[in-house]
Amino acid sequence: MCSFCVVLKQKKLLNAPSLGFGALVSPGREVAPGPETVERDPRRCLNCGAYVNLYCDVLIGSGQWQCVICKKMNGSEGEFVVSSKHDLLQWPELASSAVDYVQSGNRRPGFVPVPDTRVSGPIFILIDECLDEAHLQHLQGSLHAFVDSLPPTARIGIITYGRTVSVYDFSEGAAVSADVLPGNKSPTHESLKAIIYGTGVYLSPVHASLPVAHTIFSSLRPYQLSIPEVSRDRCIGAAVEVALGIIQGPAAEVSRGIIKRSGGNYRILVCAGGPSTFGPGSVPHSVQHPNYAYLEKTAIKWMERLGHEAQRHSTVVDILCAGTCPVRVPVLQPLAKCSGGVLLLHDDFGEAFGVNLQRASTRAAGSHGLFEIRCSDDMLVTQVIGPGEEASPDSHETFKHDTSFCIQMHSVEETQSFSVSMEAKGDIKNDFVYFQFAVHYSNMYQAEITRVITMRLQTVDGLSAYLASVQDDVASVIIGKRTVLRARTALDAIDMRLTIDERVKDIAFKFGTQVPKSKLYRFPKELASLPECLFHLRRGPLLGSIVGHEDERSVLRNLFLNASFDLSLRMLAPRCIMHREGGTFEELPAYDLAMQSNAAVVLDHGTDIFIWLGAELAAQEGQSAAALAACRTLAEELSELRFPAPRILSFKEGSSQARYFVSRLIPAHKDPTYEQESRFPQLRTLTPEQRARLKSSFIHFDDHSFCEWMRSLKLVPPEPC
């Protein structure tokens, strides 16, 4: 989806960096109805490599077609020779803007090109042996529920790690048996060979191994030594290497540097309670170590290499951390990221952790993805943000005058998106501009898929028509991703808050109007909701100071930069929903004026959902229980398919946990009454007594309201939408 529905012809305004022009693309997203499926190779322009599409001009007499990107003519070997233009619609690629090509030569027998996002590839579960009893009990409960949730045909393997790596053998029946390898070094070829060619079974279908898996989980014991959590030896790197060695096995067929195997894509799920502190890819126990910075840098590079190795073997590594011990996110993040996985932090190994284990294992993943972006000669791709890195020229097919921007994707999943920023090379003369996005990948059935999406946008001269076409939500997410990308540290985040201030001012100066006889500017009415979204970004966990630890902020930023549009928008600006009498809900602006003592409120902030119960309501036992149950049901419905699954917290007005909720709401109680009613019309339904109680419940602090912030920038707050 583009941030605009039309393209402005004037280069100077189109390229204004404060607003920018761009698109959000989710190459792996399944939509209904899905793209047309074509079981043959696509036709491509021999000059630039673009794909034939519904906007191409086809000469029905000769079958030649003109490329919309480079305007060159191409032949079709007579295929497109028909008696009328209408007859061209029999080819899906000439009738639909989105097409999936299935490479029939490479697909497995019996493949049906219907997405099944709930089929699970083989899974290795890696378990931290260094947990205290309380954490271990929670983890055991989550692991038992996890294996029970898997389909009977799914194959699983279990490895535990501490100072050593234990690979559990399913061939011993009810007895718990494991092969143990040292964790202080990478596994040797001989030790892996002994496992692979031995009599043990280390990956087994759930239907055959479920009782053994439950026995293994029940046999796990808490850490026995009296050593602080952060100082315990954990050989995470060696454990992942062992899992990869078993995955590669004896019969991996190497083709073009990519490992091809039947059986689909593998997933390694690491359950971690602390940092990697032993063996390859480890850091010292203490950050005060005199050589810590150098050793951390070395560990990061090693983890990056391991992540790329996993990706080469169609294996995604997800790292699910929990507990209070710092896990040293900078070291673990590259392993997850480079393999196409995610790193998640949880308060404990309980409910949210268990749900994420299940959703991580069932999310559909394609591998060896290549994302190509092509656009008309008038336009230029300037930046791509998302789950991948720029592809080297020798990693994909190139054409004589190929100007495409190519990204090597770490994995291909529904939950991802790319933010693509573009600029005009000069003033645009044509009536239309074309964009084509193509993604090549192997799906979980090892079929080769090429998905092609082609867009045509009209060009306009008028600024008002251009601004009216802005999709505020999409523009906010693209601006948010460009800003968060630069916030690598806490100090960077402070700078980015100031950057947002300057960006909002610049949009008003370039696209808004000056108030007569005043130095104030009016923000363009067409973009009325944009500054409030950016104000939420400025205050929220991605850039603000409401999240306590830099590790948490780092994980949130990485999730946001790769997340789908829906999750990105919720992480950017929370959604506020009030529970009404009778069990109905009303959506309201995310202002602190929603904190009415007789109400229950749900606040969805993407990775967290908060349920707040007002003190008056909480005092009425029956009503509060019903309201809480209804809010809990709503929270679960809102996040039913979301990955990662959010933490759902509920609390009462005035409790210590309520600060999580209050800090994410705009403090509109500081605004004059007329402004409050204009932006939060629900206030008008309150009695004078209720208004007075609400007003007296607020505690004064220095944070700006949205209107105060806009005025501090010398801008008039836009009228509410």
Q: Which fold is adopted by the domain 6-105+365-466? A: Immunoglobulin-like (2.60.40)
Give the residue ranges of DSSP H helices in 519-604: 530-539, 550-562, 565-572
Kindly report the backbone phi and psi dihedral angles of residue 709, in degrees, each rounded to the nearest multiple of 5, phi listed first.
-65, -45
Beta strands in 279-428 (DSSP E): 315-322, 343-346, 367-375, 379-385, 388-390, 405-409, 418-424
The CATH number that domain 575-664+668-702 falls under is: 3.40.20.10
pLDDT of 540-566, one tens digit each?
A: 999 987 766 778 888 999 999 999 999
Q: What is the pLDDT of residue 264?
A: 53
Please, which contacts does 457-460 make with residues 24 or more away whose CB atoms are closer than 8 Å? 457/2, 457/4, 457/5, 457/6, 457/7, 457/432, 457/433, 458/6, 458/7, 458/431, 458/432, 459/6, 459/7, 459/8, 459/9, 459/428, 459/430, 459/431, 459/432, 459/433, 460/6, 460/7, 460/8, 460/9
Identify whether the C-beta of residue 58 lies closer than 8 Å to the C-beta of residue 68: no
Q: What is the pLDDT of residue 656?
A: 87
**Range 320-349 average pLDDT:** 94
Q: What is the pLDDT of residue 473?
A: 93
Q: What is the pLDDT of residue 442?
A: 83
Cα separation of 153 and 691, whole Å? 59
Stated pTM of the model: 0.90
Beta bridge partner(s), residue 453: 98, 437
pLDDT band at 69 (very low <50, low <70, confident <90, very high): very high
What are the residue ranges spanned by the domains of the chain? 6-105+365-466, 123-252+261-349, 575-664+668-702
Q: What is the pLDDT of residue 38?
A: 87
Q: Which of 88, 86, 122, 89 is nearest to 201 (CA)?
A: 122
On the question of a common fold for 6-105+365-466 and 123-252+261-349, the answer reads no
Distances in Å between the Cα of 11 and the Cα atoms of 14, 108, 512 are 5, 49, 18
Identify whether the C-beta of residue 455 lies closer than 8 Å to the C-beta of residue 408: no
Beta strands in 121-203 (DSSP E): 123-128, 155-161, 164-169, 177-182
Q: What is the pLDDT of residue 680?
A: 93
Identify whether the C-beta of residue 608 lies closer than 8 Å to the C-beta of residue 660: yes
Kindly report the backbone phi and psi dihedral angles of residue 233, in degrees, each rounded to the nearest multiple of 5, phi listed first.
-80, 125
Helices (H) then strands (E): counts for the chain? 20, 32
Per-residue DSSP letters for 14-50? HT-TTT-EEEEE-TT---SSPPEEE-SPPPB-TTT-P
Identify whether the C-beta of residue 155 lies closer than 8 Å to the C-beta of residue 204: yes
pLDDT of 591-642, one tens digit each?
A: 999 999 999 999 999 999 999 999 999 999 889 999 999 999 999 999 998 9
The crossing angle, in degrees rounded to 10, of helices 351-362 and 133-149 is: 40
Identify whether the C-beta of residue 264 lies closer than 8 Å to the C-beta of residue 446: yes
pLDDT of 463-484, one tens digit each?
A: 989 999 999 999 999 999 999 9
Q: Is 384's pLDDT higher than 80?
A: yes
The CATH number that domain 123-252+261-349 falls under is: 3.40.50.410
Cα separation of 642 and 498, whole Å? 32
Flag the least confident range among 14-23, 303-312, 389-398, 407-416.
389-398
Q: What is the pLDDT of residue 43?
A: 93
Q: What is the pLDDT of residue 389?
A: 87
Between 36 and 232, whose confidence is greater?
Answer: 232
Cα separation of 437 and 698, whole Å? 50
Identify whether the C-beta of residue 266 lies closer than 8 Å to the C-beta of residue 313: yes
Q: Are strands 448-460 and 98-103 parallel, antiparallel or unpaired?
A: antiparallel
- B/e letters for 146-157, b = 16+ CB within 10 Å, e = fewer, are bbebbeeebbbb
Q: Is 98's pLDDT higher than 50?
A: yes
> If you average pLDDT over every residue of the chain, what do you get?
89
Q: Is 658's pLDDT higher than 50?
A: yes
Structure tokens at 566: 């829906």
